[in-house]
């Protein structure tokens, strides 16, 4: 078998196990939409679905995003996950909204009252920043992604947690404040991404937290295209 087939077989096993755990029988799948920010994996995942799904697969790319008319932002440079976040958040609030996504990158996406994307700001994600520092510095241990009670640490782990974790609290607060100024009005703020729940000192900043926002956005994109 080719490398593509071998990779696809491995991902298919994982997908089948996940669907089994969630109690989703394969025959009940009626539509598939694919959002990928890893181009090399896109053909692999397509091959996975070709094994048990005979319908058309909707891929969120620049051409599809052009049809959604999300504003003046370049649809061919906009990450499909950010587009899904924008659609999901606007459908939820029906007004201007700022989406803070704590993923591999830390992203801030602003959407106006008409559901169009005004712009995006991107910073390295917390885990990315931590790994970058650890991999380029000798004798640094693996750092738990926890927010310490104080900024000044008494050992290496506490020092890194203070600098990075507490530092990101300030970064997010400043960015949300600045985006609100640039947007005007009173936008809602929603957080998503697995690490959003780690940053408890920021929870007062958010009107909502939803780790499934991107998935809901993909579902909404399918509805818009119907």
The three-class DSSP label of residue 215 is helix
Find the catalytic residue in 40, 61, 81, 204: 81
Q: Which two tokens stand for residue 150?
A: 């104080």
| Residue 176 · residue 111 · CB < 8 Å | no
**126: alpha, beta or left? (left if phi > 0; alpha if psi -120 to 50):** alpha
The span from the CA of 207 to the CA of 87, in Å, is 17
Q: Coil, strand or helix: which one is 158?
A: helix
Helices (H), the chain: 3-21, 42-50, 62-68, 80-93, 126-135, 156-160, 167-183, 213-225
User: Residue 135 is encoded by which pair of tokens?
Assistant: 């991999």
Our answer to whether residue 216 is catalytic in this structure is: no
**What is residue 193's three-state secondary structure?**
coil
Q: How buried is 30 (Cβ within 10 angstroms: 0-12 exposed, 13-18 middle, 19+ buried)?
A: exposed
- Which residues participate in catalysis according to the annotation? 81
């Amino acid at each position: 078998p080719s490398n593509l087939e071998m990779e696809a077989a491995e991902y298919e096993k994982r997908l089948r196990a996940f669907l089994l755990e969630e109690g989703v029988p394969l025959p009940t799948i009626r539509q598939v939409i694919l959002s990928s920010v890893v181009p090399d994996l896109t053909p692999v995942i397509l091959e996975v679905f070709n094994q048990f799904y005979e319908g058309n697969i909707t891929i969120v790319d620049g051409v599809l995003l052009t049809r959604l008319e999300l504003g003046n932002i370049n649809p061919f440079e906009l990450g499909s996950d950010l587009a899904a976040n924008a659609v999901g958040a606007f459908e939820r609030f029906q007004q201007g909204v700022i989406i803070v996504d704590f993923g591999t990158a830390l992203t801030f996406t602003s959407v106006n009252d008409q559901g169009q994307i005004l712009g995006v700001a991107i910073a390295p994600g917390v885990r990315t920043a931590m790994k970058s520092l650890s991999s380029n510095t000798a004798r640094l241990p693996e750092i738990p992604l926890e927010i310490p009670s104080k900024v000044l640490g008494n050992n290496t782990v506490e020092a890194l947690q203070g600098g990075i974790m507490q530092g990101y609290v300030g970064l997010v607060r400043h960015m949300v404040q600045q985006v609100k100024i640039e947007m005007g009005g009173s936008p809602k703020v929603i957080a998503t991404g697995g690490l959003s729940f780690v940053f408890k000192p920021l929870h007062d900043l958010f009107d909502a937290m939803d780790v499934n926002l991107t998935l809901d956005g993909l579902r909404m994109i399918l509805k818009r295209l119907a």
